Amino acid sequence: MNIARDPRIAVVGAGLGGLACARVLQRHGRSVTVFEREASVDARPQGGTLDLHADTGQAALRAAGLLDRFHALARPEGEEWRVLDFADAALLAHEGPSAAGGRPEIDRGQLRGLFLDSIAEDTVRWDRAVSAVAPLTDGACRLLFGDGTTEDFDLVVGADGAWSRIRPALSHAVPGYTGVTFVETGFDHCDTRHPDLARLVGNGSMLVKGAGRSLVAQRNSNGHIRAYIALRAPQDWHVSAGIDLGDQRAVRSHLLTMFDGWDEGLRYIVRNSDSGFINRSLFVLPAPHTWQHVPGVTLLGDAAHLMPPVGLGANLAMLDGSDLAHALITESNVDAAVRAYESIMLPRSIEAATGSARGLDHLVPATAP
């Protein structure tokens, strides 16, 4: 489809991938509108820390003209990894930050704020929930909103995550449970209030593995440690255990029994956290996840290739957004741009999904490591 005027581009979802796409487009003088169902930028916490890889996340930031600002906020020391023994917390393996600072860490909320500060103020339409997209006969697409209104665009980009409302226009695939659940909790002012745990975690992340369960703790900014109690268990593990997830005391007590025999310094993560427990079942899309090209609509990030959270998802989402924007800037028309983007993104995501599945098996082994 040849569009003489500036094409009407809608990005659904104001996450990292969608914002990367919007930022690169605007940097090259293109118009774009981002629709976000959340009421405001502060509607919910954005999650933990991310390590940005040179060839993916950092490449996207370079295309967005934000790499220097990222480095001013990032924590190169956060690259550190410690692997401990579950029985006595002895150090089994240690990887310090690289001399070149290859994968510096940054809080997800800080990174999102970096993108939001870099785009035009009216780019994101908050509290604008999209319910579906309908391809039109002329190659455009119609967005259907939760309030019953519609808007037409030359391209709709589904950047709306795991449970994308845009994906059904391209694919019948739905996410499936991985068999692993993360129970999230956290610690504030860790160096003064939780000094022993702070020493175990170090400046970056700590991993402790047992049979079907692991503990992961990671430094965030402002002295916060975010911890994940990883379990290989049915999605309804709490139901079979007779636990109400709203009863934090009962959740804590049950989780402690699951870590019987573990070092008491490690059980401290379950016993003494400051925040409550948030149950996060991990879902993935089937791999490979591909689709037949449909004019006027495409996907990026988790909407296109939902993977286990082992360090690739956010990086790939940002690269997807940057690559799509670059194609829209350089190709002769919207349809050619989307085809060029999908020809790069889909093979890349297939390879990454395979690696992420192996990464999850390594992170939470079914048997004792």
Domain boundaries of the chain, sorted by first residue: 9-78+100-174+285-363, 176-284
pLDDT of residue 91: 96
What number is the average pLDDT over the span 36-60?
Answer: 90
Structure tokens, 81: 């990894």
pLDDT band at 99 (very low <50, low <70, confident <90, very high): low
Name the residue type at position 145. F
CA angle 361, 270, 49 (to 5 degrees): 60
Q: Is 320 helix (H, G, I), strand (E, B) or coil?
A: helix
Number of H helices, E strands in the chain: 12, 17
pLDDT of residue 45: 76
Q: Is 81 helix (H, G, I), strand (E, B) or coil?
A: strand
Class of domain 176-284: alpha beta
pLDDT of residue 12: 98
Structure tokens, 142: 């119609």
pLDDT of residue 44: 80
Q: Is 241 helix (H, G, I), strand (E, B) or coil?
A: coil
Give the tens place of pLDDT for each residue, 163-191.
999 999 999 999 999 999 999 999 999 99
pLDDT of residue 3: 45
pLDDT of residue 363: 94
Of 3.90.230.10, 3.50.50.60, 3.40.50.300, 3.20.20.60, the CATH number of 9-78+100-174+285-363 is 3.50.50.60
Q: What is the DSSP letter of 328?
A: H
What number is the average pLDDT over the span 56-71?
Answer: 97
Phi and psi torsions of 306, nearest 5°: -65, 125
Burial 245-280 (b: 16+ CB within 10 A, else e): eeeeebbbebbeebbeebbeebbbbbeebeeebebe
Helix, strand, coil shares of the chain, percent, nearest 5, are 35, 25, 40
What number is the average pLDDT over the span 224-247?
Answer: 96
Which residues on neighbouring strands pair with residue 278, listed in sequence order?
184
pLDDT of residue 96: 85
pLDDT of residue 2: 44
- Smallest CA-to-CA distance from 21 within 117, 139, 157, 148 is with 157
What number is the average pLDDT over the span 36-52?
Answer: 87
Q: How many CB atoms lie within 10 A of CB 93?
A: 9
pLDDT of residue 1: 44
What number is the average pLDDT over the span 32-54?
Answer: 90
Q: In what order do the strands lie in the sheet with 130-135?
A: 130-135, 141-145, 150-153
Give the tens place of pLDDT for each residue, 262-308.
999 999 999 999 999 999 999 999 989 999 999 999 999 999 999 99
Q: What is the pTM of this model?
A: 0.94
- Smallest CA-to-CA distance from 304 within 104, 212, 167, 155 is with 167
What number is the average pLDDT over the span 212-240?
Answer: 96
CB of 182 closer than 8 Å to CB of 171: no
Rounded Cα–Cα distance for residues 253 and 243 (Å): 10
Give the tens place of pLDDT for each residue, 309-364.
988 999 999 999 999 999 999 999 999 999 999 999 999 999 999 899 999 999 99
pLDDT of residue 101: 56
CB of 210 closer than 8 Å to CB of 368: yes
Which residues on neighbouring strands pair with residue 10, listed in sequence order?
33, 156
pLDDT at 98 over 90: no
Q: Supply the mean pLDDT for the chain.
A: 94
pLDDT of residue 5: 67
Q: Is 215 helix (H, G, I), strand (E, B) or coil?
A: strand
Give the tens place of pLDDT for each residue, 112-165.
999 999 999 999 999 999 999 999 999 999 999 999 999 999 999 999 999 999
